[in-house]
Amino acid sequence: MNTGLKLLMAASVMAASVSALALPVLHTATIDQHGTVVAQSSPWIKSVSYSSKSDYFATYKVIFNEDHFKRSPGFCSASSIDTSDYERLFYGHVKLGGAATTKEVNV
């Protein structure tokens, strides 16, 4: 697996706040192929657990910092930016393993 494989995560909290003036907040992070958080827009990720099946797929469980989200994120997206070879460029897919909760999201 190429060390250049990175996972770009973006979660935007669209939940309504008690205040009528609450604005949506966008959180982003870059996670490498081993589940190490390389960068994040603010400290919103507590940890990432990584597991994989050889030459098949990998699963990343992203655990959010406690009490960071009062409600489940209203929008969550992930994308692969692995351009290490032709096959990975065209056939590498990233999917969410269900809706994000206030505690975690599976990718």
**What pLDDT digit, counting tens, does each position of 49-78 carry?**
999 887 778 889 999 999 888 888 888 888
Overall pTM surpassing 0.85 (yes/no):
no
85's CB contacts (< 8 A; 6+ apart) are 2
Position 65 scores a pLDDT of 93
Model confidence pLDDT, tens digit, residues 3-47:
444 443 433 333 333 334 567 888 999 988 889 999 999 999 999
- Rounded percentage of the chain residues whose pLDDT exceeds 90: 28
Position 46 scores a pLDDT of 95
User: How, if at all, do strands 25-32 and 6-13 pair?
Assistant: antiparallel
CA dihedral 106, 4, 91, 53 (to 10 degrees): -50
Position 45 scores a pLDDT of 95
d(CA 97, CA 79) in angstroms, rounded, equals: 13
Position 7 scores a pLDDT of 44
d(CA 62, CA 60) in angstroms, rounded, equals: 6
What is the rounded average pLDDT of the residues 85-107? 83
